[in-house]
Amino acid sequence: MRDLFAAEEGDALPLAPGAVLLRDFALAAAPELLLAVVGVTAEAPWRHLETPGGFGMSVAMTNCGALGWVSDRTGYRYDATDPLRGKPWPALPDAFREMAHDAAAAAGYGGFVPDACLVNRYEPGARLSLHQDRDEHDYGAPIVSVSLGLPVTFLFGGAARVDKSRRVSLVHGDVVVWGGPSRLHHHAVLPLADGEHPATGRCRINLTFRKAG
């Protein structure tokens, strides 16, 4: 059963000023997006990054685009070079660029051109703690987050860490876009429940598009 803030197929649900949930927006493009994920990860394999505090992240990730988000003992940052391979990140697939542009436009952010895409793989039990996306240089551009595969509970909070968070069920094909007054709002992903999805198997794939440079 979907949560209190559920919407029907094709609906746009406001989460906060500047933030919207686009139900099923990526559903038709999902096969093409997942095929592109295979190409990206063949070139830049999945890895579990280390936090500055020395903890391993439960979410496996990689990047594509001109810049990639990385984390290690020295901190969080964007880098044009994949530290695992010592080479540039794979180019942003056309299907990724089109999805990011179209979803941003549907949420009221026209002309969005991402230069980074974080590709995350959640397996059962993986989670993302409450945080802000503040490593980017351009806070004027939105964040576009695409959910593929297993459903998950997404928390969308406020500008302060202590602000109350909404619990939003995200399913295959859903897209969340936030920017403007919500650009630095806190958000999190609760531990992924075990399950099987016909498109991804026992995992959830998340594409997060940013204008980082």
User: DSSP letter string over 135-199?
Assistant: --S-TTSPEEEEEEES-EEEEE--SSTTS--EEEEE-TT-EEEE-GGGTT--EEEPPPPP--BTT
Q: Is the pLDDT of residue 10 over 80?
A: no
Q: With bands split at pLDDT 50, 70 and 90, how would you rate the model's confidence at 199?
A: very high
Q: How many CA atoms lie within 13 A of 127 on its CB side?
A: 11
- Residue 120 is assigned to a structural domain of this protein: yes
- Residue 3 lies inside a defined structural domain of this protein: no
What's residue 41's pLDDT?
98
Q: Does residue 67 carry a pLDDT above 80?
A: yes
| Domain presence at residue 2 | no
Tell me the residue range of the domain where 168 lies: 12-210
Q: Report the CATH number at residue 21.
A: 2.60.120.590
> Which residue from 182, 167, 20, 33 is spatially nearest to 103, judged by alpha carbons?
20
Buried b (16+ CB within 10 A) or exposed e, 95-126: bbbebbbbbbebbebeebebbbbbbbbbeeeb
Domain count along the chain: 1
Decide if 177 is inside a domain.
yes
| DSSP H or E run through 31 | helix 30-43
Summarize pLDDT for 15-63 with one digit per residue, the tens. Answer: 999 999 999 999 999 999 999 999 999 999 999 999 888 888 999 999 9
At residue 150, φ and ψ (nearest 5 deg) are -60, 145
Q: 6 lies in a domain?
A: no
**Does residue 71 surpass a pLDDT of 50?**
yes
4 lies in a domain? no
3-state secondary structure of 104: helix
